[in-house]
Amino acid sequence: MATFPLPFIPTLSYKTGGRRFGANRDGGKRKHAACDLIAPKGTEIYAVENGKVTYGPYLFYRGTYAIEFRLDSGKVVRYCEIEKVASGIAVGSTLTEGTLIAYVGKMYVDSMLHFELYNGSGTGSLTVRSNSPYQRRSDLINPTDYLDGCALLGAVQYPVGCALPGP
Between 62 and 132, CB nearer to Zn ion: 62
Asked if 113 touches Zn ion (CB under 5 A), the answer is: no
Give me the count of residues in the chain: 167
Distances (CA, A) of 134 to 31, 88, 128, 148, 164: 5, 32, 8, 22, 46
**Torsion angles phi and psi, residue 99, rounded to 5:** -60, 135
CA distance 72 to 23: 29
Q: Minimum distance from CB of 36 to Zn ion (Å)?
A: 4
Question: Could you say which of 2, 6, 34, 140 contacts Zn ion (CB under 5 A)?
Answer: 34
Question: Could you say which of 2, 36, 43, 48 contacts Zn ion (CB under 5 A)?
Answer: 36
**Torsion angles phi and psi, residue 28, rounded to 5:** 95, 0
Asked if 116 touches Zn ion (CB under 5 A), the answer is: no
CA distance 101 to 134: 26
Question: Could you say which of 79, 95, 103, 114 contacts Zn ion (CB under 5 A)?
Answer: 114
Asked if 78 touches Zn ion (CB under 5 A), the answer is: no
CA distance 163 to 146: 29
Between 78 and 93, CB nearer to Zn ion: 78
Between 34 and 150, CB nearer to Zn ion: 34
Task: Give the interface with Zn ion as residue ranges (CB under 5 A).
Answer: 34, 36, 114
